[in-house]
Each structure stands twice: as C-alpha cells, then as structure tokens.
Amino acid sequence: MPHIQPKTTPIYQTSVFAFDDLNALEQYFEQPGQSYMYTRYGNPNTDELAQQVNQLEQGAGAVVTSSGMSAILAAVLAVCKAGDHVLCAEEIYGGSSALLSQELTRIGIRVDFVPTADTYSLANYVQPETQLFLVETMSNPLLQVFDVQRLAQETKREGILLVIDNTFATPVLTKPLALGADMVIHSVTKYLSGHSDVTAGVVVCKEQEHLQRVQKVMMVYGLNLSPFDGWLAARGLKTLRLRMKQHSSNALVLANFLQQHPKVEKVWYPGLEEHAQHALAKQQGQGLFGGMMSFKIVDDTEAVNRFMRALPTIPFAPSLAGVNTSISYPLGSSHRSLTPEQQQKMSITAGVIRLSVGIEEPEELVAELEAGLAAV
C-alpha cells in the first residue's frame, strides 16, 4: 500500500485501538501520549482540537470535553473536593450558576456568588477552604466586561485560582492566561466551532499540575468528546479569526442601529462608547468587541413574540455564535433557572432579547431587525 499523507487529519471513528503485543501495551503506559488505547482516554481528533485551542490560548495544555458544561465541571472538580468552597461571579451563564448552586453543593462543595460591585475586592468572600473564582470575560447576557488582569491580581493576593470562561470573547479578542488567569474554559459549541453543529468544551491550563488533574477528571468521569465532533470542531476552528472579525464588525453596525431605534429602550454592547467598560473592552479585546449583544424593548412577552414572528429569517434559537444570526430570550432560556429576584437584580426582564450576530451582510441584518421592530 502506498504511503498516504493527508492534508487534513482523517476521522479516527473508533472506540479502541489495537496493540501488536504486550510490549506495545507496556510502552503505552510508560510513554504517555505516544500511542492510543481507548477513545475515552484520548483520540487523534480530540487531541488535535486540544492542541489547536491551547496554541491560541497560549497555555501549558488543553483537555477537550463533551460540552461547555462538562468543561466547567472538569475545571472545578480538578481542584475541589467535598468541603471546599468556590466563588462565582453573580453575572454568569444560568447553566453555570445551576451547576454550582444546585449540583456541586450536593456533593459537598460550597458556593457563594460575588456581586458585580465586589468583583475586584474578594477579601470578605474568601474563606480558608476557597479554591477558585469563576468569572466570564464578558457576562451572559448583559455583556459586563471584566478586567482579567485586575481579577488575577486580586485572586493571587487571596491565594485562590482564577478560572475564566472565555466563550464570548474567544482568544482572538482576549487571552486570559497571558493576563494572569490560571485556567480558561470554553463552550467549543459556540465560537470556536462556529457552525452550530457541534457540542463540545475545552479547559486550557497554565500549569501542568492542573492540566493533569483536568485530564484525570475527564477520563474517569467519562466527559470525553467523540472523534467526529472533535474533527468538526477542529475544522471550524480554522476560520475563527476571520469569523470573529466579521461578527464584531456586524455587531457594531447593529448596535448603533438599535441604539437609535425608537422602540429600543437599551442596548448592551461593549463596542458602544456609552458602555460602562468600553475603554477596557477596546484594550482587552484588541479593538474588537465580539458578536454578542442584548437589547431591551417594552417589557411585554407578547411584544417579544410579535418581534420574533416578524423576523423574516433570523431564528429564535436558544444558543449562540453560529455563522448565522439568531436571537435568544434569557428570561425563558439561559437564565430560566434563576429566581425572579436574581433575574430582576441582573436586569433580565421580559423585554430583554439577546442577539448573536452572524457573518451575513450587515445591510441584510439591519433590514431584518427593522422588520421585527415594526411589529412591536
């Protein structure tokens, strides 16, 4: 058979790999990473994805998981055990909040949520058992931008780890490890994969010690990603830089359009000069502001329904970051698990709509939103 050298990594759609003999098996255990045994432990496709994301985030290594949620789980369980304490930003994805407060508390990990006003002064929240602080580069859904360098200085001072969910920003805008974070997580499902056809996650670590622990948790808990999803995500990742530039460019056009529209009461987008962290976002995001925004119309669910139905092609799809624009409704989807008091405190009201801006022509998107708003 001739020597074959494919330009793109083939899909290793296998659950297990064969060995020549017992010597080959011993070599597998003595020289980790030189060969493969079982796809739950490792596979060329998921390893390729991990290496590519790690290269972008400039870490010591990365571990790919089955979803963004399992990436958060792996990161927390890598450093926490029963009796330990975790801090989490108050403004965070509802799923992250539910995982910490409803599930990890059941296995003895205590959780406290830090109000936004106290994000950079943790002394009153850190306890002897506190292990880490989890926060997003840009919060979901109201795009609060956090100063990763300041957060890193504060967590170092308090002797805890800083874990950053960099899903909204991506390493094209912000590299948290270079700014002092200890671990970075992504829902690869979103921008890294980018085409709304993969469910995956990744944890990138600054230190080998944490990397080995995350790897162990992934293997033992069975949080691994399938080979085909690994291959698809690695394929999508190749266009990340191009996509993020277009997402950001389109989003700025739409934010400016929405801001001046009489039926829009408020727009949350870091690219707007009125945004409270605009200067930080510009500096930390290399002049790009990402493709995510939220805006508020009248607090009436029927008005929101009319807006959604009047959009010619933009779908109501409770996820984000695909090449096609979509809208979501935080109150009824991503932040549904929060109490009414928490929702109110975070300003997530009935009229708030989250917009994931795609890479279409901006003029088309403006016309779409115009049609939707005309029905409100």
pLDDT tens-digit readout, 333-350? 777 767 788 777 778 899
Nearest-5° Cα angle at 94, 318 to 99: 120
Q: Which of 319, 103, 92, 115 is nearest to 185 (CA)?
A: 92
User: Tell me, what's the pLDDT at 71?
Assistant: 98
User: Tell me, what's the pLDDT at 31?
Assistant: 86
Beta-carbon contacts of residue 182 (< 8 Å; ≥ 6 apart): 132, 155, 161, 162, 163, 205, 206, 207, 210
State yes or no: is 28 an active-site residue. Answer: no
Domain check: are 124 and 267 in the same one?
no
Residues forming a β-bridge with 43? none
Mean pLDDT of 125-132: 98
State yes or no: is 93 an active-site residue. Answer: yes
Q: What is the DSSP letter of 338?
A: S
Neighbours of 220 (CB within 10 A): 10
> Token match 């510009």: residue?
282
State yes or no: is 190 an active-site residue. Answer: yes
Q: How far apart are CA 77 and CA 71, in angstroms?
A: 10
Q: What is the CATH number of the domain that holds 49?
A: 3.40.640.10
User: Of the residues 40, 110, 150, 306, which is catalytic?
Assistant: 40
Neighbours of 241 (CB within 10 A): 12
In a domain, 34, yes or no: no
Cβ–Cβ < 8 Å for 207, 180: no
User: Tell me, what's the pLDDT at 119?
Assistant: 96
User: Of the residues 12, 36, 93, 191, which is catalytic?
Assistant: 93
State yes or no: is 40 an active-site residue. Answer: yes
Domain check: are 156 and 81 in the same one?
yes
Q: Which of 179, 156, 320, 356 is nearest to 164 (CA)?
A: 179
User: Of the residues 165, 191, 269, 329, which is catalytic?
Assistant: 165
pLDDT digit string, tens, across residues 220-249: 999 999 999 999 999 999 999 999 999 999
In Å, how far from its chain's centre is CA 74?
A: 14
Whole-number mean pLDDT of the chain? 95
SS (HEC) of 19-76: CCCHHHHHHHHHCCCCCCCECCCCCHHHHHHHHHHHHHHCCCEEEEECCHHHHHHHHH
User: Of the residues 147, 182, 190, 206, which is catalytic?
Assistant: 190
pLDDT digit string, tens, across residues 278-309: 999 999 999 999 999 999 999 999 999 999 99
Domain check: are 82 and 67 in the same one?
yes
Q: What is the CATH number of the domain that holds 301?
A: 3.90.1150.10
In a domain, 8, yes or no: no
Domain check: are 296 and 349 in the same one?
yes
Domain check: are 135 and 214 in the same one?
yes
Domain check: are 184 and 88 in the same one?
yes
User: Tell me, what's the pLDDT at 1?
Assistant: 61
User: Tell me, what's the pLDDT at 171?
Assistant: 98
User: Tell me, what's the pLDDT at 109?
Assistant: 98
Please state whether the predicted TM-score (pTM) of the whole model is above 0.85. yes
Can you list the alpha helix ranges (DSSP code H) found in 260-300?
278-284
Q: Of the candidates 216, 237, 258, which is a domain's last residue?
A: 237
* Tally of domains in the chain: 2
**Residue 241 φ then ψ, to 5°:** -65, -45
Can you list the alpha helix ranges (DSSP code H) found in the chain?
22-30, 44-57, 68-79, 94-98, 148-158, 170-173, 208-221, 227-237, 240-259, 278-284, 301-310, 340-345, 362-374
